[in-house]
Amino acid sequence: MLKRVLEYAHVLMQTAIQPGETAVDATCGNGNDTLILSQSAGNKGHVYAFDIQTQAIEKTKEKLAAASCTNVNMIHDSHENVDHYLPEDLKGKLAGAIFNLGYLPGSDKQVITTPDHTITAIDKLAQYLKPEGIIVCVVYYGHEGGSNEKNALLNHLADYDQKYYQILQYGFINQKNNPPFILAIEKKQVPQK
């Protein structure tokens, strides 16, 4: 009945992204989220997938090739630079974006996402979202530095204007060992200038 955190993150992405639309995987990791985004966007859609680690880029490329997905741009760079790669005419049209925060499973646990880079990326992506577009952050915080990122995100996103964004926190409170949770940001309407 209640969906696990990653499963629910994928449901949110699949609901937000229609065939032909564009999405972003801000932390492609092992490629699982990138594959779901690619399949949701379809052949006429597009995905931009970011990671700072070569290992993540290579694993994601392998996963996409095995599934014959060809609609993904792999970008070996920090997600904080997302605006350097997204076309300007995508502003107000991005269907969704996903982050898996923390470290890449099976890799160097010293290489982690950081609050400043993550918040910068989220703020930039929020400008690109279409109305009813969504940014999903799966927040893993049981590692060194993870609680800092979790708290910074919660504080920052609490200040998003509720006239324009809805912010959902989804997670299980009776699980041990710092269970991951979701922060989902849905754009309600385009902010007036």
> pLDDT digits over 45-62, tens only?
999 999 999 999 999 999
The answer on pLDDT for 140 being more than 60 is: yes
The answer on pLDDT for 192 being more than 70 is: no
Quickly state the pLDDT bin for 142 (edges 50, 70, 90): confident
Residue of higher predicted confidence among 155 and 112: 155
CATH H-level, domain 5-187: superfamily: Vaccinia Virus protein VP39 (3.40.50.150)
Burial of 49 (0-12, 13-18, 19+ CB in 10 A): buried
Q: What is the DSSP string of 147-177?
A: HHHHHHHHHHHTTS-TTTEEEEEE--SS-SS
Q: According to DSSP H, which parts of the chain are helical?
A: 5-16, 32-41, 54-66, 115-128, 146-157
Phi, psi of 20 (to 5 degrees): 95, -5
- Residue 189 pLDDT: 73
The position carrying tokens 């999903």 is 136
DSSP helix/strand/coil, 191: coil
What lies within 8 Å, CB to CB, of 72 at 6+ separation is 34, 37, 38, 46, 47, 48, 49, 60, 64
The answer on pLDDT for 5 being more than 60 is: yes
Burial of 113 (0-12, 13-18, 19+ CB in 10 A): buried
Domain boundaries, the chain: 5-187
- Residue 108 pLDDT: 67
Mean predicted lDDT score pLDDT of the chain: 93
Q: What is the pLDDT of residues 29-49, one digit of tens each?
A: 999 999 999 999 999 999 999
Q: What is the pLDDT of residues 119-139, one digit of tens each?
A: 999 999 999 999 999 999 999
Tell me the percentage of the chain whose pLDDT exceeds 90.
82
- Residue 61 pLDDT: 97
The position carrying tokens 């996402």 is 113
- Token pair listed for 135: 């940014």
- Residue 193 pLDDT: 61
| 140-144 mean pLDDT | 84
Residue of higher predicted confidence among 193 and 172: 172
Q: Are 26 and 121 in contact (CB under 8 A)?
A: yes
- Residue 190 pLDDT: 58
| 13-22 mean pLDDT | 97
The answer on pLDDT for 191 being more than 60 is: no
